[in-house]
């Protein structure tokens, strides 16, 4: 229809009906792609355990599905490709910092290729961390994609919860995180589910389910995501807390996570396993501060919870350190700055998207969910949605 706007020629009636028909045919396809992509994103957490194969096999296969879905959604509005503008100065500055960070990721990743050979999964990690925000930027269904991911997480988290409580009732539970077999993965899914139930669901039924999901997080000892959920719930429900600056909430949550990392007991600070891994990661980041050493995908499924095993695999227990080691300090800090600037914009109330962005940004200090499809897609989606005041009550 845009071809005829501003012209004196009348629009042929058959062309009008053709445009309407094509629009109606395209919408069910777009909805299907949105939900299929969301299902693939969440399934990536469970595929290795359910299929009984290594993530080295499932990751590339699901990467093709997820990337194809994001590309199709980005091309939905072609040739217009509408990109909603950032409407406030803070959000505009945030929208500038994000592509600068992605350029830093790409430049560092290509530069690192001259020092060592990249595996297919290394290239995939670079594409995930640097390419996902670009695809989401041109995706005018960001809120719908986030909604779909959230509700799929609710479904999987409920199954995980039922499996955990069933195992506990039979007396056979040994910190078994549902059907994924991974405490961190199951914890992230449960956290997203709790946030969506609080921020998007209606009805009394959600509160018993939220309580059960929090209990499930306790059963699997996912303290990181339990703490994030405990912070997110009152932020989304208590109106007096809406006056709290989300940047302050983010910094405080990150500090609390770091205190827990370096503490072996109440007010007793010690050099525990996670603290030692972070110290070594900081030393690695400072050894190549400008460009890093390039992306390096790690299969942590077969690692033992020992310093020698985890350190040898390059585990740092911090997303900020991982990004700094891979792409250099400037690029990593630009990404964090983009998130903090998006959070610093004034809001009349706290809603789902900025609260999730605050929690996931804080997690970068003491955890890393950006190396997986679920964490990366959710983080970059809430960041780009927060920058543009669009949908989901941002």
Residue 9, domain member (yes or no): no
Would you say residue 44 lies in a domain?
Answer: yes
pLDDT above 60 for 148: yes
Task: Tell me whether residue 111 is in a domain.
Answer: yes
Give the position of tokens 């809406």: 242
Q: Note whether 224 and 187 are within 8 A (CB).
A: yes
Give the mean model confidence (pLDDT) for residues 319-347. Answer: 92
Distance CA 379, CA 160 (A): 22
d(CA 135, CA 69): 10
The predicted pLDDT at position 252 comes to 94
Residue 111 banded pLDDT, cuts 50, 70, 90: confident
- Radius of gyration, CA atoms only, the chain: 22
Residue 336 placed within a domain: yes
Q: State how far the Cα of 337 lies from the Cα of 272, in Å rounded to an integer.
A: 29
Q: Of 60-64, 80-84, 361-365, where does mean pLDDT reach its minimum?
A: 80-84
Q: What is the pLDDT of residues 123-136, one digit of tens each?
A: 888 899 999 998 89
Q: At residue 88, does pLDDT exceed 60?
A: yes
Whether a cis peptide bond, with omega within 30° of 0, leads into 307 is no
* Overall pTM surpassing 0.85 (yes/no): yes
Domain that holds residue 298: 16-387
* pLDDT for res 391: 53
Domain count, the chain: 1
pLDDT at 228: 95
Closest CA to 353 of 140, 128, 93, 145: 145
With 0-12 / 13-18 / 19 or more C-beta atoms within 10 angstroms meaning exposed / middle / buried, residue 312 is exposed
Bridge partners, residue 263, by sequence: 269
pLDDT tens across 209-253, in order? 999 999 999 988 888 899 999 999 999 998 888 888 999 999 999
Tokens of 327: 């792409």
Q: Specify the DSSP element, H or E, that contains 263.
A: strand 263-265
Q: Choose the weakest-confidence range: 21-25, 46-50, 139-143.
A: 21-25
pLDDT of residue 281: 82
CB 23 within 8 A of CB 83: no
pLDDT tens per residue across span 265-309: 444 444 477 778 888 888 888 888 888 888 888 766 666 666 677
Nearest partner of 200 among 138, 271, 152, 257, judged by Cα: 152
Better pLDDT: 155 or 263: 155
The total number of residues written for the chain in this structure: 394
> How far, in Å, CA of 245 to CA of 347, rounded?
9
Please state the rounded mean pLDDT for residues 21-35.
Answer: 71
Does the pLDDT value for residue 83 go beyond 80?
no
Distance of alpha carbon 150 from alpha carbon 47, whole angstroms: 18
The answer to whether position 149 is within a domain reads yes
- Which is it for strands 263-265 and 268-269: parallel, antiparallel or unpaired? antiparallel
| Residue 3 belongs to some domain of the structure | no
The answer to whether residue 394 sits within a structural domain is no
- What's the pLDDT score for residue 288? 87
Tokens at 198, concatenated: 């609080």
Q: Which residues of 171-189 are buried (b: 16+ CB within 10 A; e: fewer)?
A: eeeeebbbbbebbbbbbbb
Residue 184, C-beta contacts closer than 8 angstroms, at least 6 positions apart: 222, 224, 225, 367, 369
C-alpha span between 87 and 91 (Å, rounded):
7
pLDDT exceeds 70 at position 171? yes
Nearest to 130, CA basis, from 330, 327, 384: 327
The confidence score (pLDDT) of residue 262 equals 67
Average pLDDT over residues 327-342: 95
Chain-wide mean pLDDT for the chain?
83
As given in the structure block, the two tokens for residue 165 are 């409580």
Q: Which of 376, 293, 365, 375 lies closest to 328, judged by CA? A: 293
Distance CA 30, CA 28 (A): 5
Query: What token pair was written down for 46?
Result: 């469970």
Look up residue 335 and give its two tokens: 């990404």
Q: Which residue has the higher pLDDT, 78 or 16?
A: 78
Q: Is residue 20 part of a domain?
A: yes
């Amino acid at each position: 229809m845009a071809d005829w706007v501003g012209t004196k020629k009348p629009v042929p009636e058959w062309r009008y009906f053709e445009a309407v028909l094509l629009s109606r045919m395209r919408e069910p396809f777009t909805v299907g792609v949105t939900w299929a992509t969301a299902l693939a994103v969440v399934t990536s957490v469970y595929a290795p355990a359910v299929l009984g194969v290594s993530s080295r096999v499932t990751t590339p296969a699901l990467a093709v599905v997820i990337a194809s879905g994001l590309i199709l959604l980005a091309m939905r509005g072609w040739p217009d490709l509408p990109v909603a503008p950032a409407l406030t100065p803070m959000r505009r500055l945030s929208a500038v910092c994000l592509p600068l960070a992605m350029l830093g990721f790409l430049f560092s990743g290509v530069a690192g290729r001259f020092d060592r050979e990249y595996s297919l999964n290394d290239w995939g990690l670079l594409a995930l961390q640097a390419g996902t925000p670009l695809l989401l930027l041109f995706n005018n269904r960001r809120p719908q994609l986030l909604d779909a991911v959230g509700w799929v997480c609710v479904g999987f988290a409920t199954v995980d919860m039922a499996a955990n409580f069933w195992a506990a009732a039979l007396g056979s539970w040994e910190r078994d995180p549902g059907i994924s077999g991974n405490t961190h993965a199951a914890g992230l899914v449960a956290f997203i589910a709790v946030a969506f139930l609080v921020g998007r669901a209606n009805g009394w039924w959600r509160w018993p389910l939220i309580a059960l999901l929090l209990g499930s997080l306790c059963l699997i000892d996912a303290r990181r995501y339990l703490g994030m959920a405990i912070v997110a719930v009152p932020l989304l429900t208590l109106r007096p807390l809406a006056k709290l600056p989300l940047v302050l909430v983010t910094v405080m949550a990150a500090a609390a996570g770091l205190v827990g990392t370096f503490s072996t007991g109440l007010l007793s600070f010690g050099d525990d396993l996670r603290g030692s891994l972070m110290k070594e990661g900081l030393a690695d980041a400072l050894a190549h501060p400008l460009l890093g050493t390039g992306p390096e995908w790690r299969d942590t499924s077969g690692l033992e919870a020992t310093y020698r095993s985890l350190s040898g695999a390059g585990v740092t227990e911090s997303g900020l350190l991982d990004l700094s080691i891979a792409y250099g300090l400037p690029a990593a800090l630009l990404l964090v700055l983009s998130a903090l600037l998006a959070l610093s914009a004034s809001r009349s109330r706290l809603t789902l998207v900025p609260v999730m962005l605050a929690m996931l940004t804080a997690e970068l200090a003491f955890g890393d969910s950006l190396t997986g499809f679920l964490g990366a897609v959710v983080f970059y989606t809430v960041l780009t949605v927060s920058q543009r005041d669009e949908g989901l009550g941002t």
